Amino acid sequence: MTFYTFARGVVKIVLSPLYRIEVSGLEHFPKDGGVLLCTNHIDNLDPPVVGITAPRPVSFMAKAELFNVPILGNIVKNVRAFPVKRGLSDREALRNGLKLLKEGNVLGLFPEGTRSKTGELTKGLSGAGFFALRSNAYVVPCAIIGPYKPFKKLKVVYGKPVPMEELRLKKVSAEEATAVIMSHIQSLIDKHK
């Protein structure tokens, strides 16, 4: 058993009953191949919640500072996360993300780049569009619909993959591709509130 599997099991035992997590749309999640999983960001617990509800292991980009925190840094490394320097064009992080997707793994991203202070979806950064356009990965939108309050229902909704072929053929910008992805996340939020 890997550390990821062990940690996922422990976190699931704690968070699932605490937040009465309800998951829907798993039938849309591709069983194999690279997947760019794009999710709204409303709480620090979003990465573990996505990690325990997604049907396949997810690798997240995490802010580089976390890797320097004693104990937490080792945990973050061992749950498949890799560092990204925020506010910069971090070429190493971009290469790592593309490599994961090309190898058929799941890359989890929060396109907003940081948590929403209001809980409303904010503008996405171009990174999601970059990965979507530069890889042939499926792009799966996901909505976390809160609030994170003990014993209140928390919904995690996985949507159908965003059709990217036309956008790739039109050679749209990363910003435009991100905007399309964000509109799919917003649709999930609106439909399942």
Among 100, 179, 98, 106, CA closest to 140:
106
Structure confidence by residue, pLDDT tens digits, 54-109: 999 999 988 888 898 888 888 888 898 888 887 667 788 889 999 999 999 999 99
Q: Which two tokens stand for residue 102?
A: 């090309």
CA angle 150, 56, 145 (to 5 degrees): 30
CA angle 145, 150, 153 (to 5 degrees): 35
Query: What pTM, to 2 d.p., does this model score?
Result: 0.93
Structure confidence by residue, pLDDT tens digits, 134-190: 999 999 999 999 999 999 999 999 999 999 988 888 889 999 999 999 999 999 999
Name the strand (E) or helix (H) holding 133: helix 126-134
Residues ≥6 apart with Cβ < 8 Å to 124: 38, 111, 112, 113, 178, 179, 181, 182
| Strands 154-158 and 21-24, bridge-based pairing | parallel
